[in-house]
Amino acid sequence: MSRVRLDRALVLEVPLRVADGAGGFAEGWQAVGTIWAEVRPGVGRMVGAMEAAAVTLPLRITVRGLPQENALRPKAGHRFRDGARLFLINAVTERDGMGRYLLCAAEEVFG
């Protein structure tokens, strides 16, 4: 395993549902804290038919391992924010056998 360089501060955000006062919910995001991470590009792939193809460039984001009950432990469905850039977390697994680091499979969200 290569050396991990946690050199980028990312804000972890979790989905938030708030009553809209009309019997429904408004969805938003709540920041829970800042995590130091290593962000590396993954392997790109083409999605969709040739006429309406879109390219996704997945990312591999490594953070320090945290216990399951820790609020700063990323989970699928959470996202990282780096200024105006957003990275949706698709999956999280331990990067090493000792759980020192977590590997987040993510993709940048535009718009």
The predicted model scores a pTM of 0.82
* Cα gap 55→34, rounded to integer Å: 29
* Cα gap 38→58, rounded to integer Å: 14
Residue-wise pLDDT tens digits, 66-83: 998 999 999 999 999 999
Residue-wise pLDDT tens digits, 5-44: 999 999 999 999 888 888 888 889 999 999 999 999 877 6
Would you state the pLDDT for residue 47? 59
Domains and CATH numbers, the chain: 8-109 (2.40.10.270)
Q: Is 74 within 8 Å of 92 (Cβ atoms)?
A: yes
Range list of β-strands (E), the chain? 8-19, 25-41, 45-47, 54-56, 58-64, 79-82, 85-94, 101-109
* Cα gap 78→13, rounded to integer Å: 6
Would you state the pLDDT for residue 22? 87
Note the residue count of the chain.
Answer: 111
